[in-house]
Structure 1
Amino acid sequence: MLWLLAHDSLARLGGGGVSHEVNRLYFRWYGVLSHGSYPVDDRMWQYPPGAGPVLLSPALLPGLTYFQAFVALTLVADGAIAIALARAGTRPRDGRHPQARTLHGALLWVAALPLLLHIPLARYDVQVTAFAVISLLTSARSTRACGAFAALGALVKVWPALALLGTPRGRTTREAWTSAAVTAAALLVALATLFSNPFDFLRQQGGRGVQIESLGGTALAFARHAGWQGAVRYRYGAMEFVGPYVSTVAAVSLALTLAAFALLLLWRVRARRWTPATPYDAALAAVLLFTVTSRVISPQYMVWLLGLSAVCLTSRHTTQRPVAALVVAATAVSSVAYPVLYGEVMACTWTGCLLMFVRNGLLASAAVLAFARLWRSGRAPAAGRPDGEE
């Protein structure tokens, strides 16, 4: 991955586009943040306040350039995830389940992350994923730590809050969610004190359109071959479709996201059985559902799904093994779509359309399967069958 990043200027590796995010965009934001303010009226800045400290963190390594320090810290986060998964896979959960753990999760993370080529090293999604992974893996030992790490991740990129969806009802949920709320409030107060304009990002979110790599974007790409008169433009830091019916597709995506949220709430209300892996399975299913219904599916989103899939595979109680396989397959196709053949995707050629159809089809299948298996696992166990047994 480091070798690929060093040769990022090669056409098949993105022609410098992958490292551009850190070299230009992150570094520009670093300059603004280092003067005590979040970016203002910047359409590209669409991240919660917690992203600020992450983008400032390369200052901790003053002997390196910003790019070198950013990559080094990303590798540290990558290593932290691998170690956490390995420890979770070798430490028995309790005396009742001495064989409940497995190293498959650590193996998936180490083996599958390079399928994204050098993209993970030039985005801060590995750092965000570290918060979610550690939150889930600490849930069995410290509910307060689980909530705190989920809150820290949520203030960087929102989605780690979903790590709390599957916490068992009662005291565990109250402690985890209270810890998350207190941690988030404390950090927001600190950031609002240290920086000006911490909530300006909210003004930029509403203008997002339909990214060409999303499910809705795939539908519009095929529509171009049927005569639809839309076009692809660079907007809000991504390649998006503009033209007739784009707003309708965006509205449908939002409606599907709301429907996914309703389904997850229904599962939580009706679930009657929790296994040691239920919090892991619920987090993966939730992030998959919100990913596939989003107007934006950037390639780095696969880092999140790999991390959560790896957490699921640390437990033999998980129901998500086939889902993890689909996520790995989607990851491999995703790196072909970007950066290798991104020109085909932007031009909406048949090759580009089919690539996105396969990648998004795998993700949609994974989302449906993940929720279906999560739903079934939440039913009361059959008479005579031990709890937690599939």
Structure 2
Amino acid sequence: MRARLRPGTIALWSTFVLVHVIVAWFGWVLPSQPMGDVVLVYQPWSHSALTGGAIVGVTEPWVYPQLALIPMILAHLLATPLVGSLGALGAYLIAWAVLVTVLDLVGFAVLVGRGRTHRRRVAGWFWCGALLLLGPIAMYRLDTVTVPLAVIGGLWLATRPAIGAALLTVGAWIKIWPAALVLAAVIAVKQRMRILLTAAAVTAGIVVLLFLLGADRELFGFLGQQTGRGLQIEAVAATPFLWLALAGKASIAYSFDILTFQIEAPGADVISAVLTPLMVLAVVSVAVLGAMKAARGAAWQRLFPPLALTLVTVLIVTNKVGSPQFQTWLIAPVILWVVLDRARAATPALLVLGLCALTFLVYPLSYDALLRAEPLPVLLLSIRNILLVILAAVGVASLLRVPAEARSR
């Protein structure tokens, strides 16, 4: 006989589906076009690729790794039967929401399943809360596609290391951030060589395929697109400039090249130029700390979660962009932390839930006022950015507390 779902598990699954419905609806009714990127850039990019036009990342420069085009094309194909009744843009929006929901449900099935494990149910409730608190940005951005890939890949690192590493690597070729989880796995997980070789093989296969498709010049163009950006208003390093803008000593301008709002003020370009090498230095420092713990025999269940979360948080804190959807990056590492080491996951989980709520309050609820540099959204964003720094500090402190254990254990 098949085991029945527990009532608590049924409630958890129902809540997860309901949260997706609510968040998808938020995208239609809240201000500042929270689903704007989906119809303004994803749909035209996919339409161009499917109709013989320019292919971003292959025939022209692109800000994302090339596999990012795949979910956009999948949404376009899903939308095709709906175009007649809803129009091209409406159909694409619904198709995107359905695609994200289906991917999340697959990730949730791997995480929770029939709900036999308490810590996995707790992680599932955290995922529900994070999605609801983060709002429509948790569905209507490319980053959301990588979250279930990161959850599944992270959960399978110990039992199916090759598949787990492959999923994380594919995620990194959609948005770069899952590469931090690959790095953490190579450092902390016992099957590190298998993980490293798999990641290298998947990357090599993708590179060869892209080269055959004609992406020789633009193969790694997304790296140059990132380094050439200015200081975006939501970035942690932009916080002092927002207060200067409040005082009339800095300004907020829209960049039509990369479709974001950036800071214009004396010193902003210098800060922007410093952030990329600072990010590299911070990532290397955290990786070295993790490697030292691993070399001393730290258990991977204790080492991997704080290492993964700290690396991801560092990528956000030292980033010159700081888009609100970056908070989705934090969801998967915390889920993995709850599953692997729930006793020490409470503080980072609460911090991430707070970050999601503050981000929702800024975008989309008060984003128009932020662009006018009004006090309340500037204060909310400042608190959010300070909380990000605190999360990074909590991650480092957790790494330092990871005990060295005998390798025989």
TM-score clears 0.5: yes
Q: Secondary structure at the residue paired with 2:332?
A: helix
User: Taking structure 2 as the reference length, what is the TM-score of the superposition?
Assistant: 0.83
Q: Secondary structure at the residue paired with 1:165?
A: helix
Q: Distance in 2 between matches of 1:86 and 1:121?
A: 20
CA distance 1:365–1:300, shift in 2 (3 Å): same
Q: Distance in 2 between matches of 1:368 and 1:380?
A: 20
- In the alignment, structure 1 residue 174 sits paired with structure 2 residue 193: yes
Q: Distance in 1 between matches of 2:58 and 2:381?
A: 32
- In the alignment, structure 1 residue 33 sits paired with structure 2 residue 49: yes
Q: Secondary structure at the residue paired with 1:232?
A: strand
Q: Distance in 2 between matches of 1:237 and 1:137?
A: 35
Aligned to 1:212: 233
CA distance 1:335–1:43, shift in 2 (3 Å): farther
Q: Is the 8 A contact 1:108 1:310 kept in 2?
A: yes
Q: 1:173 Cα deviation (Å)?
A: 0.9
CA distance 1:229–1:122, shift in 2 (3 Å): closer
Q: 2:65 aligns with which of 41, 48, 51?
A: 48
Q: 2:93 aligns with which of 67, 72, 77?
A: 67
- In the alignment, structure 1 residue 191 sits paired with structure 2 residue 210: yes
Alpha-carbon deviations, 1:330-349, whole Å to 9, x = none?
11011000100012221222
Q: Once superposed, what is the RMSD of the aligned Cα atoms?
A: 2.8
Q: 2:173 aligns with which of 149, 155, 176?
A: 155
- In the alignment, structure 1 residue 284 sits paired with structure 2 residue 309: yes
Which amino acid is 1:262 matched to?
V
Q: Distance in 1 between matches of 2:70 and 2:198?
A: 21
Alpha-carbon deviations, 1:106-125, whole Å to 9, x = none?
11001221112222221122
Q: Is the 8 A contact 2:23 2:139 kept in 1?
A: no
CA distance 1:359–1:53, shift in 2 (3 Å): same
Q: 1:282 Cα deviation (Å)?
A: 1.5
Q: Distance in 2 between matches of 1:89 and 1:133?
A: 16
CA distance 1:41–1:220, shift in 2 (3 Å): farther
CA distance 1:351–1:317, shift in 2 (3 Å): closer
Q: Is the 8 A contact 1:143 1:172 kept in 2?
A: yes
Which amino acid is 2:136 matched to?
H
CA distance 1:9–1:44, shift in 2 (3 Å): farther
Aligned to 1:247: 269
- In the alignment, structure 1 residue 270 sits paired with structure 2 residue 306: no
Aligned to 1:95: none
CA distance 1:171–1:358, shift in 2 (3 Å): closer
Q: 1:304 Cα deviation (Å)?
A: 1.5
Aligned pair count reads: 372
Q: Secondary structure at the residue paired with 1:368?
A: helix
Alpha-carbon deviations, 1:355-375, whole Å to 9, x = none?
111111111101110121022
Q: 1:162 Cα deviation (Å)?
A: 1.2
Q: Secondary structure at the residue paired with 1:166?
A: helix
Higher helix fraction (1 or 2): 2
Q: Is the 8 A contact 2:171 2:178 kept in 1?
A: yes
CA distance 1:54–1:124, shift in 2 (3 Å): same
Which amino acid is 2:39 matched to?
N
Q: Is the 8 A contact 2:23 2:132 kept in 1?
A: no
Structure 1 residue runs of 5 or longer lacking an equivalent are 92-98
Q: Secondary structure at the residue paired with 1:305?
A: helix
Alpha-carbon deviations, 1:56-83, whole Å to 9, x = none?
1124424233222221111111212222
